[in-house]
Amino acid sequence: MQPKKTNLRPIGISIVLSLLTLGLFYLLNQSITTLMHQGGDAGATYGDILTTAKWLIVAGILVKGTLTTLVAKRE
């Protein structure tokens, strides 16, 4: 009997989505930094909120991909 082949596609997709999310938040952070330098209302608080949101979203995507891969491996 051959061992079941592990489907790594869900974890690969989650890694790609995480990288895209990081890129999006990088661009958002750059635009807020630009606004701060132009004398806008955006303070350092927005940067903290974006950083927290970014890592929560990335962690969620990676956990979902990992769990999907593990569940697919069991079936």
Mean pLDDT score across all residues of the chain: 78
List the chain domain ranges.
Answer: 21-74
The model carries a pTM of: 0.66
Residues 53, 54, 56, 58: what is their CA dihedral angle, to the nearest 10 degrees? 160
- The continuous run of DSSP H or E covering 6 comes out as none
Taking only the tens place, the pLDDT of each residue in 1-27 is: 566 666 778 888 888 988 898 888 888
Q: How far apart are the first and last CA of the chain?
A: 16
Dmax (CA) for the chain in angstroms is 68
Count of all residues that appear for the chain in the document: 75
CB 72 within 8 A of CB 5: no
Banded model confidence at residue 43, pLDDT cuts 50, 70, 90? low
Taking only the tens place, the pLDDT of each residue in 50-75 is: 778 888 888 988 898 888 888 876 65
